[in-house]
Structure 1
Amino acid sequence: MEYVIVGVLGLALGLLLLLWQRGRWLAENARLTQQVAGLSAQLEQETHQAEAKQALLREAEQHLADAFNALSAQALARNNQAFLDLARQNLAVFQEAARGDLAARQQAVESLVKPLAEELAKLAGQTQSLEKARAESHGQLSEQLKGLLSAQQDLRGETGRLVNALRRPEVRGRWGEVQLKRVVEMAGMLDRCDFYEQEVAADGKRPDMLVRLPGGKTLVLDSKAPVAAFLEAAEALDDGARGRALERFAQHVRTHIQQLSQKAYWEQFEDAPEFVVMFLPGESFFSAALQQDPALIEYASERKVILATPTTLLALLKAVYYGWRQESLADNARQVSELGAQLYERLAKLGEHWASVGKNLGQAVKAYNEATGSLESRVMVSARKFEELHVAPEGKKLPELNPVEQAPRALQLVEGQGSDTRFPSLS
């Protein structure tokens, strides 16, 4: 509808601009036409004056002829031809002067009228171009308006079909569940499979969704919000009918809150918080109900029902998702602690074996040093006497037997080593 209003305003503004420009052109045309008419009248007046002068000349010629006729026939006969010739000469000169003046005036008038005629021709061409452009713009605007009207009719038809479909309770319930599932997907809870749809309680009551909370808790959600009256308000043709439908919608929401409170889902599921979340599938539903019944939030809270829109439910599920992440991190920390304890125990056992190896190496060094001392003091002393007696082969000397001075480094084991050694818990 807004596009139609904008299109109509644009058409009206274009028509006003065209009418204003056309008025200017008509005023300019009238001014130029009036100026041409004035110049034409002036030309006609001067033409009449020239004709009057010619008439006067003809009348003067007639008077001269009559005067000459009054003279004696003899004198007239002698001088008639001479006077007539002179008169003709004078008349020719006068007529020539009159013709030159008339031609000059006509040329001056034409020099004034010609630019006006050219401007009028240009104005006529511009008027035709503007009229053509206006017709094309009007045609395009008409096509756009037709397109907008067609789109609006299609949208109205789709809206009507949607409203008719949502009048069916099972369709409304399924639509609410779909909206609920979309919010869960956006919160990241779908991939973790932390929610359950259409689960039946022990007494046959069925909530729309259960969200598993960290620590084995369960959060109950209901999406069967009564929206039929709200849809009737959307189809209402006047404010009175719309207001009455919205009042019924708020009353239906209050009644549904009372029914959820009586069902007491938190008593049907173990470790469930003592409240149930009532999901409204759109922000407009919540605002309309709250506008008609400002105390609706307090009423629901007193009955252990929390009203949630897609926005608030998304925030709630994001918090639950964060709790699950913290739970997962805690589980990982416990596993790391257990693995650390196992690794520590194995390192302690390896340390014991390593200390045993060092101890054995120390005993071997001690035995080697004792054997070396005995060999040096008892055997090698007697053997070196062969060198003094020059009995030993040349170039062959008995080596010096030195004891091993370095002992294996003792391994410092942590107190409490053994099978009972554990890392402190990280949980």
Structure 2
Amino acid sequence: MAATFLLLGLIVGGAAVYAWARGQIRSERRAADEKLALVQDAQSSWEERMKAATGDALSRSQTSLLELTEAKLAPIKETLQKFESQAKALEERRLHEVSRIGEQLRSVAEGQEKLRTETGSLVTALRAPHVRGRWGEVQLKRVVELAGMVEYCDFRTQQSERDDDGRLLRPDMVVKLPGGKCIVVDSKVPIDAYLDAVNAVNADLKKAHLARHASQVRDHIKKLGQKRYWDQFDSTPDFVVMFVDEGLYRAALDQDGSLFEAGAESGVIVASPATLIGLLRTVAYGWQQETVAESARAVSALGKELYDRLGVFANHFAKVGRGLDTAIGAYNQAVSSFQTRLLVTARKFPEHGVTNDELPDVGQIERKPVELVALPHPDADADAA
């Protein structure tokens, strides 16, 4: 029974404690809610204040930063503006230069087209035999001028001779050598096949044209050797010089290396401009030496003539000396006779009052030899110095 009452008291006490605790919890919750509301209100107020302060500071910072940035970037902005203006000027200049280059390229293209046309005309003209011959003569004359050979003095152009069969032989040039000798030079321009080879686009066709070019050069050598100019011109060595362009001869030699031997066997010396200049300068040097020798011979002849004339003059001078010696002897004899024969008697006239004037004395001329001193030779003075 007592236990029942004890259990019931515990239940009632627990319920009372629960009710009290529940009310206490509600009160504390309510107080906590109020505190939370106050904290939230304060927080909202502080947030608004912080936002306002931060916004003002940020606005001021942004303004200061922009002003500082503008101040710092002002030189860069000015540099960029200058760069932009210079870039525009360069672009305008570039466009102007591109325009000028375009005009120049058009002029070059026109010039190339004109050059191509003139080259074609020149190639066509060079295929004509008389034009080729004239071109070879002009080139030959230019080489001779470079060598210092004066026309109609050391060489002659287009001199004609006839062979035993009456055929007219007319070499392009006959170079006179000292001693009355001469060298015959003939210019050849085998250019037909060479031009075909230059214009050929196929390698095999070009090779065939070059082989034909070498054959043409060999044919010119053979025909020139058959003319035998050395039989028609006096005092000419048994060979003739064939003048040909350097490029033409080299192209032929590349195809046929025996052309030089063929020329030597035919009595033909193939000469390029450089070789001919060397030959002609050698001849010019020979002419200079001949001129010096002629001058020496002329000086020798003049010396001999002067010596002969000095001999004649010395004979005349000796004759004058002998005449003077004879005259002096006759004069002294006359003076002796005058003094011993005439003056002795004439000086007696003053004694008789005829005159008071004294007669002058007349003396004889003494034959005293004069010692001649030879002048020193200039070479002796130079050696002494």
Please, what TM-score do these two structures have when normalized by structure 1?
0.65
Q: Residue 121 and residue 213 in structure 1: after superposition, are their counterparts in 2 closer, same or farther (change >3 A)?
A: closer
In structure 2, the partner of 1:325 is 288
Deviation at 1:132, TM superposition (A): 4.3
Give the conservation status (yes or no) of the 8 Å contact 1:362–1:407: no
1:351-390 aligned within 5 A: 351-384=314-347, 389=351
Deviation of residue 130 (structure 1)?
A: 5.3
Superposed, 1:406-417 pairs within 5 Å as 406=367
The answer to whether the Cα contact below 8 Å between 1:257 and 1:303 also exists between their aligned partners in 2 is yes
Aligned-pair CA distance for 1:256: 1.2
Does 2:53 align with 1:97?
yes
Gaps of 5+ in 1: 1-69, 72-83, 412-427
- Identify which of 168, 191, 197 aligns with 2:157: 197
Task: Show the counterpart of 2:190.
Answer: 226
Give the structure 2 partner of residue 244 of structure 1: 208
What secondary structure, in the 3-state scheme, does the structure 1 residue paired with 2:215 have?
helix
Larger radius of gyration: 2
The residue identity in structure 2 corresponding to 1:144 is Q
Divergent runs of 4+, >6 A? 86-92, 407-411
Whole-Å separation in 2 of the counterparts to 1:288 and 1:224: 15
> Which position in structure 1 is the counterpart of 2:258?
295
Tell me how far apart the structure 1 counterparts of residues 289 and 340 of structure 2 sit (CA, whole Å). 75
Provide, for residues 383-402 of structure 1, a one-character-per-residue CA deviation record: whole Å limited to 9, x for no partner.
44566x575644x3333332
SS in 2 for 1:216: coil
Task: Call closer, same or farther: CA 1:401–1:113 in 2, change over 3 Å.
Answer: closer
Equivalent positions of 1:59-208 (< 5 A) are 93-107=49-63, 110=66, 115=73, 118=77, 122=81, 128=88, 131-203=91-163, 204=167, 205-208=169-172
Shift of 1:265: 1.2
Q: 2:237 aligns with which of 259, 273, 298?
A: 273
Deviation at 1:199, TM superposition (A): 2.8
Name the SS for the 1:318 alignment partner.
helix
AA of the residue aligned to 1:189: M
Change (3 A) 1:406 1:177: same
Contact 2:190-2:248 at 8 Å conserved across structures: no
The equivalent of 2:27 in structure 1 is none
Cα distance between partner residues in 2 of 1:337 and 1:245: 62
Name the SS of the counterpart of 1:225 in structure 2: coil
Q: Is the 8 A contact 1:225 1:278 kept in 2?
A: no
User: In 2, are the aligned partners of 1:275 and 1:306 still within 8 Å (CA)?
Assistant: yes
3-state SS, counterpart of residue 107 of structure 1: helix
- Cα 1:87/1:189, change in 2 over 3 Å: closer
In the alignment, which of 287, 304, 312 is matched to residue 267 of structure 2? 304
Task: Report if aligned partners of 1:167, 1:228 keep a CA contact under 8 Å in 2.
Answer: yes
| Alignment partner of 1:216 is 2:176 | no
Count of aligned residue pairs for this structure pair: 327
Is the contact made by 2:144 and 2:280 (CA closer than 8 Å) also made in structure 1? Answer: yes
Deviations 1:13-40 (A, max 9, x none): xxxxxxxxxxxxxxxxxxxxxxxxxxxx
Equivalent residues of 1:361, 1:408 under 8 A apart: no
The residue aligned with 1:402 is: 363
Separation of aligned partners in 1, 2:266 and 2:332:
91
- Report the AA paired with residue 106 of structure 1: Q
AA of the residue aligned to 1:145: L
Kept in 1: contact 2:214–2:251 (CA 8 A): yes
Q: Give the direction of change, closer, same or farther, for the CA distance of 1:132–1:381 in structure 2 (3 Å limit).
A: closer
Instruction: Please tell me whether the aligned partners of residues 358 and 410 of structure 1 are also in contact (alpha carbons under 8 angstroms).
Output: no
Conserved 8 A contact 2:156-2:174: yes
C-alpha change, 1:324 and 1:87, in structure 2 (3 Å) is closer
User: Aligned-pair distance for 1:308?
Assistant: 1.3
Alpha-carbon distance change, 152 to 329 in structure 1, aligned in 2, over 3 angstroms: same
Task: Please tell me the residue identity of whatever aligns with 2:213.
Answer: F
**CA 1:378–1:128 in 2, change beyond 3 Å: closer, same or farther?**
closer
Q: 1:220 aligns to what SS in structure 2?
A: strand
